[in-house]
């Protein structure tokens, strides 16, 4: 544990040193929204809030992905060189490949979407960024690839449910993995709509997964989570209200997808759903809103996702975020309890 805390501190210091120059670079590149989907005619609190976020640079998640990947590539060989015992549940190269394939591929997908939107490369197309259908197709393909790697290379085909035991899904494990990865990638992306909301909830969830990874003695996963956490904490210093930088699609998609993969690699399917419950609630509220409008032409909620609805009924942004963090802490405690009984 001392080693992991040291690695977390190294990641934090590295990220904290570079984040201010990174913010300045993003401002110079104008890597931010120039307009929003909310029209100026909408005068309610939520729409005013959304418009106020324009021109704050996005790309904090991209820096975390870059630094986490580079520092991991340096630290693991050093540990082996100095004779540190690196224990792992699965073949180490296969495990690392799956983690970083998820981390980097979803980051690149989100980055492409960010670049198209922020540099207005889509101005003649009539929509912002990637089409939703195109994005989902790419996410599904990536999810199926990751599921296949876990099934064929790591020979994982089961999920564990407390009180019920192990359920072997066979080859159906692959589409289940793809569905979970897509769900979490989009849920985290949707939740990333308020200062510190998604980042704080991710931080809390990752502390839970760090404890679980230590309990099964999987060093590569523990190191990866510690590095990710260190970068995330440094990012949150500049992301809490009032935010100077946002996560962006590159970070949100990568973090959501990788969160799902980490939960599955640790064999904690139910813990993943519980740790991610705040994200799933926010994402599901948007899903049912879209489905309701398409099927009935009417909205179920005044506005979606849930955090904008709370803003609309009078809650302040810091109040929403702080209470979401408290709820996140308690669901992680509950998930840890279930995972260890």
Q: pLDDT tens digits, residue range 245-286?
A: 999 999 999 999 999 999 999 999 999 999 999 999 999 999
Span of 67-76, 111-120, 144-153, 169-178 with lowest mean pLDDT: 111-120
| Residue 189 labelled as part of a binding site | yes
- State yes or no: pLDDT of 211 exceeds 70: yes
pLDDT reported for residue 50: 56
- State yes or no: pLDDT of 156 exceeds 80: yes
- Relative orientation angle of helices 219-239 and 248-265, to the nearest 10 degrees: 150
Query: What average pLDDT does range 196-225 have in this prediction?
Result: 95
Q: How far apart are the first and last CA of the chain?
A: 22
pLDDT reported for residue 31: 84
Taking the C-alpha atoms of residue 69 and residue 258, their distance in angstroms, rounded to an integer, is 13
Where does the pLDDT of residue 1 fall: very low under 50, low under 70, confident under 90, or very high at 90 and above? confident
List 161's β-bridge partners, or say none. 165
pLDDT reported for residue 41: 35
* Alpha helices, DSSP H, located in the chain: 2-29, 45-52, 60-81, 92-118, 132-148, 173-191, 197-215, 219-239, 248-265, 269-275, 277-296, 306-312, 317-340
Return the higher-pLDDT residue of 68 and 122: 68
Of 185, 181, 205, give the one whose Cα is nearest residue 250. Answer: 185
Of 254, 279, 323, 289, give the one whose Cα is nearest residue 106. Answer: 254
pLDDT digits 0-9 by tens, 157-189? 999 888 888 999 999 999 999 999 999 999 999
- State yes or no: pLDDT of 155 exceeds 90: yes
Query: What average pLDDT does range 301-324 have in this prediction?
Result: 92
- State yes or no: pLDDT of 317 exceeds 80: yes
Taking the C-alpha atoms of residue 319 and residue 311, their distance in angstroms, rounded to an integer, is 9
Where does the pLDDT of residue 213 fall: very low under 50, low under 70, confident under 90, or very high at 90 and above? very high
Residue labelled with tokens 């995330």? 232
Query: What average pLDDT does range 42-55 have in this prediction?
Result: 58
CA 123 to chain centre: 28
pLDDT reported for residue 25: 94
pLDDT reported for residue 39: 36
- State yes or no: pLDDT of 113 exceeds 70: yes
Burial of 77 (0-12, 13-18, 19+ CB in 10 A): exposed
Burial of 105 (0-12, 13-18, 19+ CB in 10 A): buried
pLDDT reported for residue 122: 61
Where does the pLDDT of residue 91 fall: very low under 50, low under 70, confident under 90, or very high at 90 and above? very high
pLDDT reported for residue 8: 96
State percent of the chain over pLDDT 90: 70
Taking the C-alpha atoms of residue 309 and residue 300, their distance in angstroms, rounded to an integer, is 11
| Residue 249 labelled as part of a binding site | yes
Phi, psi of 88 (to 5 degrees): -155, 150
pTM above 0.85, yes or no: yes
Span of 45-59, 238-252, 319-333 with lowest mean pLDDT: 45-59
Where does the pLDDT of residue 42 fall: very low under 50, low under 70, confident under 90, or very high at 90 and above? very low
pLDDT reported for residue 40: 36
Question: Quick one: tokens of 111?
Answer: 């980055």
Asked if residues 293 and 170 have their Cβ atoms less than 8 Å apart, the reply is no
Query: What average pLDDT does range 52-69 have in this prediction?
Result: 89
Span of 127-136, 147-156, 240-249 with lowest mean pLDDT: 127-136
Taking the C-alpha atoms of residue 237 and residue 240, their distance in angstroms, rounded to an integer, is 6
Span of 35-49, 104-118, 140-154, 214-228 with lowest mean pLDDT: 35-49
Q: Would you tell me how many other CB atoms lie within 10 Å of the CB of residue 241?
A: 14
If you average pLDDT over every residue of the chain, what do you get? 90
pLDDT reported for residue 157: 93
Strand (E) or helix (H) holding 129: none
Go through the chain and tell me how many residues it has.
Answer: 341
pLDDT reported for residue 341: 75
Query: What average pLDDT does range 61-69 have in this prediction?
Result: 96
């Amino acid at each position: 544990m001392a080693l992991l805390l040291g690695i977390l501190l190294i990641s934090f210091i590295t990220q904290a040193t570079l984040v201010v120059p990174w913010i300045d670079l993003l401002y110079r590149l104008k890597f931010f929204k120039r307009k929003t989907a909310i029209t100026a005619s909408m005068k309610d609190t939520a729409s005013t809030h959304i418009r106020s976020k324009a021109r704050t640079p996005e790309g904090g998640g991209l820096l975390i992905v870059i630094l986490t990947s580079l520092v991991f590539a340096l630290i693991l060989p050093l540990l082996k060189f100095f004779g540190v015992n690196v224990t792992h549940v699965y073949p180490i190269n296969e495990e690392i490949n799956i983690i970083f394939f998820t981390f980097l591929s979803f980051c690149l997908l989100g980055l492409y979407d960010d670049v198209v939107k922020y540099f207005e490369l889509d101005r003649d197309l009539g929509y912002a960024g990637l089409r939703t259908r195109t994005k989902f197709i790419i996410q599904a393909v990536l999810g199926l690839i990751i599921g296949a790697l876990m099934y064929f290379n790591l020979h994982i085909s089961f999920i564990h449910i407390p009180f019920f035991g192990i359920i072997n899904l066979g080859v159906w494990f692959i589409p289940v993995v793809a569905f979970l990865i897509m769900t979490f990638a989009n849920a985290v992306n949707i939740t990333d709509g308020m200062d510190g909301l998604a980042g704080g909830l991710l931080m809390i969830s990752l502390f839970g997964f760090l404890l679980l990874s230590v309990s099964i003695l999987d060093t590569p996963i523990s190191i990866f989570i510690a590095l990710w956490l260190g970068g995330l904490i440094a990012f949150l210093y500049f992301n809490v209200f009032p935010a100077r930088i946002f996560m962006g699609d590159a970070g949100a998609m990568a973090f959501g997808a990788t969160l799902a993969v980490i939960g599955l690699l640790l064999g904690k399917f139910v813990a993943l759903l519980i740790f991610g419950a705040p994200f799933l609630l926010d994402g599901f509220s948007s899903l049912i809103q879209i489905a309701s409008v398409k099927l009935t032409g009417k909205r179920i909620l005044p506005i979606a996702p849930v955090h904008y609805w709370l803003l609309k009924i009078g809650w302040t942004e810091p109040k929403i975020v702080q209470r979401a963090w408290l709820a996140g802490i308690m669901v992680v405690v509950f998930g840890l309890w279930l995972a260890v009984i």
